[in-house]
Amino acid sequence: MPGSPTVLSDGVVTLRGHTAADVDDVLAMATDPETMRWTSTPRPYERADAQRWIHETAPAGWADGTAFRWAVAGADGRFAGNLDVHPGPRAPSVGFGLAPWARGAGLMSRALRLAARWSFEEAGLPVLHWWAQAGNLASWRVAHACGFRFEGIRRLSVRRGDGDLSDGWFASLVANGPLTPRTRWWPVPVLDGERVRLRPHTEADLPRIVESCSDPQARHFLPGLPHPYTEADARAFVLGARLGESLGQRVTWAVADRDDDRMLANVAVFDLDDVFAPTGGEIGYWAHPDARGRGVVSEAVGLVVTHAFTPEPVGGLGRHRLEIGAAWSNVASRKVAERAGFTLTGRRRMAGIVGVGSEQALDDGAGYERLA
């Protein structure tokens, strides 16, 4: 739709053309650390760059129809961010960024819905593609809230501001699709026990994850772990956990010492999106070597079971049935299941591999279940 910017509003947020009054705010947003971390904004970014964007780049895109670039404004009219729709010549795409003073109020989700409706109904676009650096949960939360379907991860596919390539997350929204979430984004609530606290992972947990997943016993019962296991692997593990929560698949906690917050173990509920068992799930866990034999995993699993069986309306997962699977020879893991009140339901013959290298062998599997 070549021409001048179309003003769109839902009464709370407005998409409008950029003005000279936006220069300082555009500059402040572009030099914000979070913006620089997740986007390809030029470095250094100076006042002249903001002026060029407002007076040349944004108007030129509207004039020739190659890019529809809006300023996002809140109820007070102040510039709050940018939202761009690129109609082609490649697949139509959308990108956005929010200023630090406007974050956390849901403005960009409202803005994206306005832009999506306009793109489909007025510009006639059949689809909008979204992508971001892998790990940009704030951007994905906006796209997720507006009904974008997660398409997958592409290695080294997104250019960062420093010029290097990063893995990318990709999603799409087709015309006439509902502008509401496609999956339940499970929160990771803090669960407190007597000795442990279950919480989301932090940067400080990464070395402990590396130590846990490099341990010979862990590698024996989890032979698919990378070796050597690096901090990059630990970071990918945590990132995968957060992504899985956004896709309604699982909830994963770090099990931390209540006194010093040191990570002791990991516990997760997964298969939450099983269409054949929509209120079922399976619990998995592992412990750091220095936390074994202290009962911390048993306490953590007990907390997770309680949370899983708590109805959704009061903050739980609303499960009616939980499973735990373990190698038959993994006595420690099986004891955790039994202490948590799970019943042994069967022994699956030669169900999986344990061991590494030349010591790999098939082992039977132990299946446990517990009903709400």
Residue range of the domain that includes 215:
191-371
- Which residue, of 144, 174, 204, is where some domain finishes? 174
Please, which residues have CB within 8 angstroms of residue 316's CB and are 6 or more apart in sequence?
Answer: 307, 308, 309, 310
Token pair, residue 335, equals 């004891």
Whether 139 and 210 map to the same domain: the answer is: no
Nearest to 15 by CA among 85, 66, 63: 85
Whether 106 and 242 map to the same domain: the answer is: no
pLDDT digits (tens, 9 = 90+) for 56-84: 999 999 999 999 999 999 999 999 999 99
Question: Is residue 104 situated within a structural domain?
Answer: yes
pLDDT digits (tens, 9 = 90+) for 313-333: 999 999 999 999 999 999 999
pLDDT digits (tens, 9 = 90+) for 32-65: 999 999 999 988 999 999 999 999 999 999 999 9
Question: Is residue 179 situated within a structural domain?
Answer: no
Question: Is residue 59 situated within a structural domain?
Answer: yes
Phi, psi of 350 (to 5 degrees): 45, 55
Question: Is residue 180 situated within a structural domain?
Answer: no
Question: Is residue 210 situated within a structural domain?
Answer: yes
Q: How far from each other are the two terminal CA atoms of the chain, in whole angstroms?
A: 56
pLDDT at 180 over 70: yes
Whether 60 and 160 map to the same domain: the answer is: yes
pLDDT digits (tens, 9 = 90+) for 92-114: 999 999 999 999 999 999 999 99
How many domains in the chain?
2
Whether 219 and 155 map to the same domain: the answer is: no
Question: Is residue 62 situated within a structural domain?
Answer: yes
- Res. 198 pLDDT band, cuts 50 70 90: very high
Sign of CA dihedral 319, 346, 265, 152: negative
Question: Is residue 159 situated within a structural domain?
Answer: yes
Whether 170 and 202 map to the same domain: the answer is: no
Whether 201 and 328 map to the same domain: the answer is: yes
Whether 39 and 73 map to the same domain: the answer is: yes
Q: Which of 87-91, 195-199, 233-237 has the lowest mean pLDDT?
A: 87-91
pLDDT digits (tens, 9 = 90+) for 249-307: 999 999 999 999 999 999 999 999 999 999 999 999 999 999 999 999 999 999 999 99
The predicted pLDDT at position 287 comes to: 98
- Res. 162 pLDDT band, cuts 50 70 90: confident
- Res. 3 pLDDT band, cuts 50 70 90: confident
Phi, psi of 10 (to 5 degrees): -115, 15
- Which residue, of 112, 143, 174, is where some domain finishes? 174
Whether 30 and 96 map to the same domain: the answer is: yes
Whether 93 and 233 map to the same domain: the answer is: no
- Which residue, of 174, 200, 225, is where some domain finishes? 174
Domain with 258 in it: what CATH number? 3.40.630.30
pLDDT at 168 over 70: yes
100 vs 31: CA distance, rounded Å? 10
Whether 238 and 338 map to the same domain: the answer is: yes
pTM of the model: 0.94
- Res. 89 pLDDT band, cuts 50 70 90: confident
**What is the arrangement of strands in the sheet containing 343-354, beginning at the earlier edge strand?**
191-192, 196-199, 251-257, 263-270, 282-287, 321-327, 361-371, 343-354
The predicted pLDDT at position 88 comes to: 87
pLDDT at 1 over 80: no
Whether 160 and 34 map to the same domain: the answer is: yes
Whether 216 and 134 map to the same domain: the answer is: no
- Res. 163 pLDDT band, cuts 50 70 90: confident
Nearest to 1 by CA among 66, 75, 93, 73: 66
- Res. 184 pLDDT band, cuts 50 70 90: very high
Question: Is residue 249 situated within a structural domain?
Answer: yes
The predicted pLDDT at position 160 comes to: 87
